Amino acid sequence: MTSELSPAAADYLLAFADDEHMIGARHTAWIGMGPFLEEDLAFCSIAQDELGHAVALYEFLTDDVDRFALLRKPQEYRSCAFAELECGDWVDALVRHWLYDRAEQLRWEALSGSANQSISEVAVRAEREESFHRAHAESFMSRISASNDTSSISKLSEAIVRLLPVAQGIWQPSDREEEAIREGFATASSASMAQSWNSMIQEDLLRWGLDIDVSSSTGALGSRTERSQGFERLLASLQEVINIDPATAW
Amino acid sequence: MLRSWKDLDHFQEFIDSGGIVEPGDDMPDEYRSEVFRFIEFHANSELMGGLTERDWIPKTPGLRLKQIFLAKTQDEIGHAHLLYMVAADMGVKSRNQMIEELFAGKSRFHNVFHYQAVTWADQVAIAFLVDAAAFASQRAVFAQCTYGPYKRVLKRIVAEEGFHLRHGEDMLMSLAEGSPIQHQMFQEALERWWWPAVQLFGPDSDPADPLLKWKIKSERNEVLRMAYIQKFVPLLQGYGFKIPDDELRYDEASKKWLTSEIDWEPLKATMRNGGPDSRRRIANASANWSETRWVRDALDAAADNQSKNAAADGLARSAGTAA
């Protein structure tokens, strides 16, 4: 299903779709690597949801989701560095999941009010799923924080401090975001969502008793037209099988 | 309801008359120990099977297909989760103990999960050939299973594995009817996975196998293996694949496909955790288990703190009421 979208709306959706695809792809690396079986099951489920969101968004942009999602050139992707990032440690994957899903909440809310009825319906459905993801992140972040174990809390805090600057890159707008807002396709700018996001995560940290000042974390927004370090390796891995015989259906 | 039996003969009469054993029963030690060992092996196999398939998930050549493989892996790990709980309820080992022994290389799991999936076609071979072999043995256990909790969990597992099998066949068809490259990929995977899949059923059953006597297994290994060969030889040949067995022949007298003599050494090696990929698989799982210990410890500490706080709150409230 492709629908008539303005170039600005398509550009706006591409950034979000690629973020969802990359975060879903990165989450799959953590299946079977969690601290216990229930966590492996949760990450399986979350990764499926994110990939499902990517499919739902790509369907607005193409009739051939798999080829579009997997077979573009690196410079044609518009994902942010945070979604592309390879996490070397499970705690980083957890913290990214919390920061990303907090941002995702705002991004879906902004689309749920879209003048485009189809994207609005997708957004409402996706946001319902996201509430479970946030509950999952909250349950881990709050319980590790409540352990009173200095070493565990340090591990968590260090991961937050390490990832916060990269996470800011989620808010790098697509090139024609202002136009997409003027058209009524999107209802909030990345800059305003970034402000809300900063407040939300600061409130989360306060609730968990973690002494981290979000406002002191400044990261370069980065650019959605430049790929992060490691992206080419990620893409090569995503394409490894389909590239064996790209002309054939798999 | 606590039921007990005077001796093994009375217990056997109960089993033979269609009795189902429940966890609260005073079951014979021999039964408890054999059934526990069997369920632990099944749980370990589901977990290690899920971990085998995870290696190829990131490379799945399609987004919806990736969701399907994720769901399948989720099912396999979910089966392990359920089976570990059933096994732990038998009071022999805790779930943690079973997992730690597995990752320490002290436990067994199915032979097929001691091999590495080296191409995408291996992933398909696992989804089709290996899952079909495992499904056949699980269904045979479900048929009569006399341990109630295991039978109830198997009902769900067998239903889900049925979906996996259909998906595996779809995947096989896409390679079989795809390009020559895809066809050749599966042929090569078949050469790697045919014998391990056939060996999964194990050597001929010992007539005195207590699991047969106590109706955990409803069918002898050789019967299940033969049925598998009769089904899959013509099916794979029909798709244009060559079974890697030069002595494979159709016996007109018995109307059966007969294979060459099966070499059981590879199976025995896997049971000693000495299969081709056993060491890497177990080491990876073990390293991850160690690296994430701090999370389990932190969550335990948080739960303890919560209990202490709740107890302190309770005391404070009681003191308040008394005052």
What is the 3 state secondary structure string of A26-92? HHHCCCCCCCCHHHHHHHHHHHHHHHHHHHHHHCCCCCCHHHHHHCCCHHHCCCCHHHHCCCCCHHH
A positions 71-110 inside 8 Å of B (CB): 89-91
Distance CA A167, CA A165 (A): 5
Query: Is A32 inside a domain boundary?
Result: yes
The amino acid present at B142, given as its one-letter code, is F
Q: Considering the domain boundaries, does residue A68 fall inside one?
A: yes
pLDDT tens, B122-141? 999 999 999 999 999 999 99
Chain A residue with minimal CA distance to B81? Answer: A37
In this predicted structure, the answer to whether residue A1 has a pLDDT above a threshold of 60 is no
- The CA radius of gyration of chain B, in Å to the nearest whole number, is 23
Contact B38, B109 (CB under 8 A): no
- Residue B323's pLDDT band (cuts 50, 70, 90): low
Lowest-confidence segment of A196-200, B140-144, B315-319 by average pLDDT: B315-319
Angle at B314 between CA B313 and CA B317, to 5 degrees: 85
- CA B33 from centre of chain: 18
Tell me the residue range of the domain where A42 lies. Answer: 7-244
Contact of A61 with A14, CB cutoff 8 Å: yes
pLDDT band, very low/low/confident/very high, at A234 (cuts 50, 70, 90): very high
Would you place residue B53 in the very low, low, confident or very high pLDDT band (cuts 50, 70, 90)?
A: confident
Residue A250 located in a structural domain:
no
* Residue A1 falls inside a structural domain: no
CATH number for the domain harbouring residue A38: 1.20.1260.10
In a domain, A128, yes or no: yes
Q: Give the model's pLDDT for residue B316.
A: 76
Which residues of chain A from 150 to 169 reach within 8 Å of chain B, CB to CB? Answer: 151-152, 155
Taking CB atoms and an 8 Å limit, are B306 and A47 in contact across chains?
no
Nearest CA in chain A to B48: A32
CB contact under 8 A, B73 and A58: no
Residue B61 near residue A241, CB atoms below 8 Å? yes
Contact criterion met (CB < 8 Å) for A69 and B63: yes
Burial of residue A220, with CB atoms counted within 10 A of its CB: 0-12 exposed, 13-18 middle, 19 or more buried: exposed
Residue B41 buriedness (CB in 10 A; 0-12 / 13-18 / 19+): middle
What's chain A's length in residues?
Answer: 250
Whether A142 shows a pLDDT value over 90: the answer reads: yes
Which residues in B161-192 are b (16+ Cβ under 10 Å) and which e?
beebbebbbebbebbbebeeebbebbbbbbeb
Burial (0-12, 13-18, 19+ Cβ within 10 Å), A42: buried
Domain map (residue ranges) of chain B: 8-291
For the segment B78-109, what is each residue's pLDDT rounded down to a tens digit?
999 999 999 999 999 999 999 999 999 999 99
Quick one: CA dihedral A141, A144, A145, A146, positive or negative?
A: positive
> Angle between the B148-176 and B180-199 helix axes, to the nearest 10 degrees?
150
Between A76 and B317, the higher pLDDT residue? A76
Kindly state the tokens that stand for A93.
Answer: 């994957």
The answer to the question of residue A77 being in a domain is yes
What is the distance of C-alpha A208 from the center of its chain? 23
Question: Which residue is associated with the tokens 């002494």?
Answer: A211
Considering only the C-alpha atoms of chain B, give the largest distance between any 2 of them, rounded to a whole number of Å. 93
What's the pLDDT score for residue B1?
A: 61
Backbone conformation region of residue A54, classed left if phi is above 0, alpha if psi is from -120 to 50, else beta? alpha
Burial of residue B73, with CB atoms counted within 10 A of its CB: 0-12 exposed, 13-18 middle, 19 or more buried: buried
The model's confidence at residue B317, banded by pLDDT at 50, 70 and 90, is confident
Q: Do A32 and B285 touch (CB under 8 A)?
A: yes
Note whether residue A202 is domain-resident.
yes
* Domain annotation covers residue A55: yes
CATH superfamily of B8-291: Ferritin, core subunit, four-helix bundle (1.20.1260.10)
Percent of chain A with pLDDT over 70: 98
CB A12 within 8 A of CB A61: no
Whether A2 shows a pLDDT value over 80: the answer reads no
Mean pLDDT throughout A31-58? 95
Asked whether the beta carbons of residue B70 and residue A51 sit closer than 8 angstroms, the reply is yes
Identity of the amino acid at A247:
A
* Residue B7 DSSP one-character state: S
Residue pointed to by tokens 């990345």:
A190
pLDDT tens-digit readout, A220-229: 777 888 888 8
Integer Cα distance of A172 and B100 in angstroms: 45
Average pLDDT value for residue range A68-77: 96
- Average pLDDT, stretch A141-158? 96
Q: Which of B60, B80, B293 lies nearest to residue A37, judging by beta carbons?
A: B80
pLDDT of residue B322: 61
Total tally of structural domains belonging to chain A: 1
- With contacts defined as CB-CB under 8 Å, which chain A residues touch B179? 245, 247-248
Query: Contact A245/B178, CB-based, under 8 Å?
Result: yes
Residue in chain B lying closest to A20 (CA): B63
From residue A65, give the alpha-carbon distance in Å to each of A3, A44, A51, A235, B296. 14, 21, 11, 16, 39
Partner residue facing B302 (CB), from A143, A155, A237:
A143
Contact A157, A212 (CB under 8 A): yes
Residue A175 tokens read as 């090139």
Q: Compute the C-alpha angle A82/A88/A94, nearest 5°.
A: 65
The Cα–Cα gap between B16 and B146 comes to: 10
B310 band by pLDDT with thresholds 50, 70 and 90: confident
Give the mean pLDDT of chain A. 94
Which amino acid would we find at residue B317? R
For residue B308, pLDDT beyond 90 = no
Determine the pLDDT at residue A3: 61
Could you tell me if B241 and B80 are in contact, meaning their C-beta atoms sit under 8 angstroms apart?
Answer: no
CB < 8 Å to B67, chain A: 48, 51-52, 55
The model's pLDDT over B206-238, given as tens digits with 9 standing for 90+, comes to 999 999 999 999 999 999 999 999 999 999 999
**Cβ–Cβ under 8 Å, residues B73 and B49:** no
* Cβ pair B184, B119 in contact under 8 A: no
Predicted local distance difference test score (pLDDT) of residue B321: 64
